[in-house]
Amino acid sequence: MTSKKMVEALNKQVQAELYSSYLYLSMAAYSDRKNWKGFANWMRVQAAEENEHAMKIFDYLLEIGEKVTLLAIEKPPTDFGTPKEMMSAVLEHEQKVTAMIHKLYELAIAEKDYRSQIMLQWFVTEQIEEEAQVQEILDKIEQVGEKSTAVWWIDKELKKRGKD
């Protein structure tokens, strides 16, 4: 059985994943405004992925016959500074999400909710990849510095995401 507490927490995670999508969509708009087309593309792909994450939990809740309650999604910021500042904000956000997933997993263990544990394992693994991916971009920015030619090169690299 899935407890009321667990259903509530899973609904909150749907909200968090949708907020992530919203945040990255706002970063996509910001990047486009700055004409960082590669960052804009990367953020769009990221936003779509976060939407898929929300739908994974959404579908899980329905599959086990529990109620999906969509909660209000907060308005994300509209300005994100330099590419380095923006990617740092992404990393920070992903670390927050990782902590949320771990808390959910702990709850599933405490409640002996085996099916939720299995469903959440995918997210535990996914968060490792998400953080590593963002860290890699941040490291690249760090290594080349924030000179316009260097950022131009990284921007060009990020244009490829979702297109191979």
Q: Tell me which residues touch Fe ion (CB under 5 A).
A: 17, 50, 53, 130
Least CB distance to Fe ion at residue 97 (A) = 5
Closer of 118 and 132 to Fe ion (Cβ): 132
Closer of 50 and 155 to Fe ion (Cβ): 50
Cα separation of the two ends of the chain: 42
Least CB distance to Fe ion at residue 88 (A) = 15
Residue nearest to Fe ion (CB): 53
The token pair at 27 is: 């970063």
Query: Can you spell out the DSSP letters for 100-164?
Result: HHHHHHHHHHHTT-HHHHHHHHHHHHHHHHHHHHHHHHHHHHHHH-S-HHHHHHHHHHHTTTT--
Least CB distance to Fe ion at residue 149 (A) = 30
To which residue do tokens 């792909």 refer?
45
Closer of 3 and 98 to Fe ion (Cβ): 98
Least CB distance to Fe ion at residue 126 (A) = 7
Cα dihedral across residues 121, 127, 133, 139: positive or negative:
negative
Closer of 3 and 22 to Fe ion (Cβ): 22
